[in-house]
Amino acid sequence: MKPGGTIDIAGKTVSRLGLGTLRLAGPGGWGGPDDRAQAVGLLREAVHQHGITHIDTADSYGPHTVEDLLKEALHPYPDEVLIATKVGLVRPAPDVWTPFGHPAYLRASVEGSLRRLGVERLELCYLHRIDWEVPVEDQIGTLEALREEGKVGHIGLSKITAEDFHRWHGEIGLAAVQNVLNIHDRHDPVQELCRDHGVPYVPYRPLAAGSATHEGDVYTPLSWLLGLGPHIAPIPGTGNPSHLANIVRAVMLGGWE
């Protein structure tokens, strides 16, 4: 059984409940975890104990430290596990996230993620943010070229508008979209477009960084998300094994399996 049931993303059938890994970096998304052994153990528990097979990360988490953790914890990756990563942000300081979409940088970022994750192809690579200082065609075109070279399997976009979706889905065939959606931020027209076009919609911050929970209740916000349709694949993040177990238990008890 997979928590939340299953969904097809980037050519794999994975658990609808995924795991976001930002919280495995240090405060402000900077550096590594205080307890590296616990972080490695949490990743292994997520996959091997809880059945979570959709793991979301980014080269900017740390930066770079979380991709290293994933390799240490899970490599060689089980066939059923999807490791999705993102490129296109630079990190000059903690809590600072700056879009940078220069083609040479995106290409170097993909090469770096390949090395850190220990793979020959990124099965799902998102453009983390569109950089409006660089022609969007050049940013998407770089990922398309990397896909043609076999270094990227599928392309996703993050934090996009309905206009962005209409422009790019038909042209490149979006494998997934990652936007904010939770019970506080309930309205995103891209979610409905994904539903109508059969594109997996991956809500990040599904628990609104904890503000969507009340007295530890993760059932209500996650059930609301999962109830929107089978195209929804939330990626709550945590660095705490007990919190992860609580998230999985809430999803399973809610009948989302």
Q: Long-range contacts: 89-92, Cβ < 8 Å, 24+?
A: 89/58, 89/59, 89/60, 89/128, 89/129, 90/60, 90/63, 91/29, 91/30, 91/60, 91/62, 91/63
Torsion of CA 174, 155, 129, 195, to 10 degrees: 30
Task: Report, in this order, helix, strand and coil percent for the chain, each rounded to 5.
Answer: 40, 20, 40
* CA neighbours closer than 13 Å in the CB half-sphere of residue 39: 22
* CA neighbours closer than 13 Å in the CB half-sphere of residue 152: 31
Q: What residues have CB less than 8 Å from 99, skipping those under 6 apart? A: 88, 89, 128, 129, 130, 131, 132, 133
Catalytic pick from 61, 77, 201, 204?
A: 61
Exposure string over 23-43, b if 16+ CB within 10 A, otherwise e: bbbbeebbebbeeeeebbebb
Query: In which residue are the tokens 């793991």 written?
Result: 55
For residue 202, count CB atoms less than 10 angstroms from its CB and return exposed for 0-12, middle for 13-18, buried for 19 or more. Answer: buried
Separation of CA 97 from chain center: 16
- Is 204 an active-site residue? no
Active site residues: 61
